[in-house]
Amino acid sequence: MRSDSMKLGVEKAPHRALFKSLGLTDEELQRPIIGVVNSFNEVIPGHVHLRSIADAVKVGIRMAGGTPLEFPSIGVCDGIAMNHAGMKYSLASREHIADSVEIMAMAHPFDALVFIPNCDKVVPGMLMAAVRLNIPSIFVSGGPMMAGKFRGKKVTLTSIFEAVGAVSSGKMGMDDLAELEEEVCPGCGSCAGMFTANSMNCMTEVLGMGLPGNGTIPAVTSARIRLAKKAGQQIIELLKKDITPRQIITEKALHNALTADMALGCSTNTILHLPAIAHEAGIKLDLNLVNEISQKTPQICKLSPAGEHCIEDLHEAGGIQAVMAALARQGLLHQDALTVTGKNVGDNVQGKTILRSDVIRSFDSSYSKDGGLAVLWGNLAPEGSVVKKGAVLPEMMNHKGPARVFECEEDANNAIMGGQINPGDVVVIRYEGPKGGPGMREMLSPTSALAGRGLDSSVALVTDGRFSGVTRGASIGHVSPEAAEGGPLGLVREGDIIHIDIPNRSIEVLLNDKEIKQRRLNWQAPAAKNLTGYLARYSKMVTSASTGAILKY
């Protein structure tokens, strides 16, 4: 066993003495030592209950004959970090999480790992660590939050962000906002829509790194505790069979993840995280593959913010396994891909059916014949850009309008809230990419303000930053190369006409090549920001969004 290097032999007597100072017995030290990576904290709603999940995991490990040792991971709540300097640290935390897990698992050679993430960058960061370390690993998330209820309707985090715009335009009063604020997030769990956290927890299940149910079993249910116990037991089976992450996260598994991504209409952030996870496995995930898979995968689910249903509804409808079974029946999945069940995808989805056809539609009644995400290319995004197509109104699928240019998110948000953006405009927010931000901030506040003011049917937003999974509308992010690296977005001027053609996967600024070339000659890089600490190091090492914003070594 891997842990033998820290516990066997005469020369390891000091090591055993240190373990015994923790209260461990000789019997416990003779068993496999299983690291339990717990991202519990008292800041993030999706993580505040993870002590109970970790306790259940450890019960499962002990039931199966292992010895669990728990250690922590940091996390960032994107909702709380939104629209201030804290958001610069969200994406950057992904690499820190991966690195910190590597450090703990290499300094203390555990035999296997159980990962307990839940929100946003914690899930991909831990997946990156699992693939990098390549020792037997399994994931069990904290599960999704239940939807809130406001005057008889389900509400999610999208509702409160958009309410801010509604208040600024006089469409909602402060008393209504205060009432909604009390109801929208009713308890623990990852926020109730198909936002980034739930998207990535669902992707973990599709990839095969989480047991069936990992993506959708609600946080507050006993079923989530039982799942955690099963994960604890299953890690011992994975150890016995020497099944490791790189046997599971293969090209086939990543293809499956992108396919399910299209069917579900997940957060655009998946198009940052899946390439980064693939990179750790030595696999290049080309953005062209996104459109290739999208073109043959219909969108059969529309969850908040694109639709009225929430993750709890998806769970009632049969969950991710029902979606995968529907895709498998159409020949769209690699059914021989291995999973942490010890079985392949085909075995796992055998007999799974759709239990609510209003939540998971049939292929014949799909929302669209292609997938929920799209990569757009053109002279404004030579290396690609990403849009959550499934959350765009039909009238905005093809849009042409004048650029309204802003050098940062705050300026754009102030202009929107101040009523300075008009129907037909294309809001451009630049120098917010991975390097330029730094940290590639999510733009939920401006997109929500547009929706709240009723402009999501007439105004587009384009940025080298990114969007929260909570975002809806014609919001095109990840524009690459980013403006700070000399990308074309930095050349756009106020009033330039931008043409967005989502069906044809195109985004262009209507300038001839000569004009673009002349502007490039006159372009000057923005003044260096006075960065210190982690962000200073991050900005020097981070790569383009088109490569998953991974770090250079």
Distances (CA, A) of 51 to 38, 70, 71, 333, 453: 8, 10, 11, 35, 40
Nearest to 551 by CA among 419, 381, 435, 409: 435
Q: Which two tokens stand for residue 499?
A: 């043409």
Asked, as a colleague might, if the bond just before 402 is cis with ω within 30 of 0, I would say no
Nearest 5°: phi and psi at 135? -115, 155
Which one-letter amino acid corresponds to residue 304?
S
508's CB contacts (< 8 A; 6+ apart) are 378, 379, 380, 498, 499, 501
Distances (CA, A) of 307 to 189, 358, 377, 481: 20, 11, 27, 32
Q: Which two tokens stand for residue 48?
A: 């505040």
Distance between CA atoms of residues 386 and 393, nearest Å: 16
Distances (CA, A) of 186 to 144, 189, 468, 541: 11, 9, 20, 39
Distance between CA atoms of residues 57 and 115, nearest Å: 10
Residue 352's Cβ-side half-sphere holds a number of Cα atoms within 13 Å equal to: 24
Q: How far is CA 386 from the centre of its chain?
A: 14
CB atoms within 10 A of CB 532: 8
Distance between CA atoms of residues 75 and 44, nearest Å: 8
Q: Which two tokens stand for residue 67?
A: 């010895």
User: What's the length of the chain?
Assistant: 553
Q: Which residues of 119-155 are buried (b: 16+ CB within 10 A; e: fewer)?
A: bbbbbbbbbbbbbbbebbbbbbbbbbbbbbebeeebb
Is 484:436 a contact under the CB 8 Å cutoff?
yes
The three-state secondary structure class of 309 is strand
159's CB contacts (< 8 A; 6+ apart) are 148, 150, 180, 184
Residues with a catalytic annotation lie at 468
CB atoms within 10 A of CB 296: 14
Distance between CA atoms of residues 439 and 396, nearest Å: 28
Nearest 5°: phi and psi at 67? -115, 115
